[in-house]
A and B are shown apart, each in its own frame.
Chain A
């Protein structure tokens, strides 16, 4: 029997096969999924913003840079080998548009860039990403197989 472990906003969790990690209702936020296919362990982080910008205090799991560091640390502690780790991500949408007013910040896009950057810095290949668009996503990550299931309200479902 596999358990489904829920990851909240600004939260991260690790799991062992056959467990599944889930995060619901990603908008501009991003779900980052990392696993070791040999050991069949992995983790998921639900980040909200690109960088902590050196701000101390608050919840480090909010930000792409600090959350990825925390996630990797915990996955290593489970015995995973850094050179085997693989990553996938989903989210980073632009949910609203105001006519005649292009969004100034495009947080979703910047979140995706920050995740890519931080993974690269840690030498972890990003196998595939499903980011952007203007719709929400709920994702399930199978830490054993590395399959990432993405559900939307009106844009279908897929597995990447």
Chain B
């Protein structure tokens, strides 16, 4: 669907408030300052998404949550492994090295963080649109970022010429970097925008 400037602004505002809630939740959880960028709304071919995430085979911890309800979508948080390790260490209050690839406690903590961040985002989105939305159980992959993203974007076996998503960068002190993407499903965009009267 064609997006007007007003609709684009509305989506950016959703991103702003929703990601703001998520950043605050992360900050509270870790007791650290977390900042976020001004969200961008992209409508680009999937092939170009790679330019937003850097090297496609960099290992990152990706937490993927499906959003269910009247306007379904996909929420994805990803952190470079070094940042993910710092986040889990902050959560557990330790400086011990964490095995992101195999340790169940560590992986479970990352999933739980994803769950909290997405839930905070969805509370804002629901307040904004009046459409009730629920997060699925979070899934986790600690692997090449390109591999994780292609699996998420292509899951339904169809790919429109352009994909639309809200993209926000998170950064924390010290040395936490992350990125959040929200992809409304094809029909959901119309519903969300309609509910906001744009």
Contacts and interface: CB of A to CB of B under 8 A. Distances in A.
Given A10-B46, A57-B161, A95 B151 contact: yes
Nearest to B153: A48
Given A49-B158, A100-B137, 8 more contacts: A11-B47, A25-B50, A25-B145, A26-B147, A27-B149, A50-B157, A96-B64, A136-B143
Nearest to B59: A153
20 contacts: A24-B146, A25-B57, A25-B146, A25-B150, A26-B144, A28-B150, A28-B151, A29-B150, A93-B147, A95-B152, A96-B141, A96-B152, A136-B144, A136-B148, A137-B144, A138-B144, A153-B142, A153-B144, A154-B142, A154-B143
A107 B154 contact: yes
A9 B136 contact: no
A58 to B, nearest CB: 5
Interface of A: 8-11, 24-29, 48-50, 57-59, 62, 93-101, 103, 105, 107-108, 110, 134-138, 151, 153-154
Interface residues of B, number: 34
B56 interface: yes
B185 to A, nearest CB: 14
A107 B152 CA distance: 10
A135 B143 contact: yes
B29 interface: no
Interface string B45-75: 1110010000111010000101000000000
B83 to A, nearest CB: 16
Contact of B147 (A11, A95, A105, A110): A95
A105 B157 contact: yes
B46 A9 contact: yes
B3 interface: no
A25 B147 contact: yes
Contacts of A29: 147, 150, 154
Top 8 closest pairs, chain A to chain B, by CB:
A25-B146, A136-B147, A25-B56, A27-B147, A136-B144, A95-B151, A27-B151, A25-B144
